[in-house]
Chain A
């Protein structure tokens, strides 16, 4: 099972919006709605930000949103803030689990 494909890095200015893509196949992202997204700050454990492709856990800012089209899932962060600077990982659950390679978000 290959890792899901994410851009290595994205950047944006405070207040702007950015989108991180996550591309898989019909066997993972495209075949199921069980895509989740995680935020990881340096030296910390990952934190669940989006599940089932579009849903936010309680306590996660509504600036974070998810979507999916075909074999590609996306995470959008609107109104960028300095504390959003982190690594972001997508994940597909289809019996077995596959993570994306991760995207480093820089808030310039």
Chain B
């Protein structure tokens, strides 16, 4: 049973860098069948795609967030990470990691989500 679990600080100060990690268990992280993605959801709002990464390290980002993002992958630890720089209160959201099937472009497995608040 494949499971994804987000981890990281729940509180980040404005202008600092938000860092989250998604641990993947029960699956071959090196499979070329999947992308590994980050999505966020502002309180009471809809889903917003942040970006995804292939096991090789090739990443694609949301155009609106690209300048502040870095997604990386560590296949030896079966996890991938998100770094978002220069955060503001507008980055307060629940952050999800998810597995994406390459051929279908479908987010088939999601983590439970982690709430990140940006506040001083």
Q: A: which residues have CB within 8 A of B?
A: 1, 3, 32, 34, 36, 38, 45-48, 51-52, 55, 57, 89, 91, 93-102
In the complex, the chain A residue whose C-beta lies closest to that of B45 is A102
Residues B105 and A45 in contact, CB atoms below 8 Å apart: no
How many residues of B are in contact with the other chain, CB < 8 A? 24
Residues B46 and A102 in contact, CB atoms below 8 Å apart: yes
Tell me whether chain A's interface is mostly helix, strand or loop, or mixed: strand
Residues B47 and A51 in contact, CB atoms below 8 Å apart: no
Residues B110 and A46 in contact, CB atoms below 8 Å apart: yes
Beyond A36-B104, A48-B107, 10 extra complex contacts between A and B, CB < 8 Å: A36-B105, A45-B110, A57-B106, A57-B108, A89-B46, A91-B47, A91-B106, A93-B105, A97-B62, A102-B45
In the complex, the chain A residue whose C-beta lies closest to that of B101 is A51
Q: List 15 A-B contacts (CB under 8 A).
A: A1-B62, A1-B64, A34-B104, A46-B107, A46-B110, A47-B110, A48-B107, A48-B108, A55-B104, A91-B107, A93-B104, A93-B106, A96-B49, A96-B62, A99-B48
- Residues of A near B107 (CB, < 8 A) are 36, 38, 46, 48, 91
- Residues of B near A89 (CB, < 8 A) are 46-47
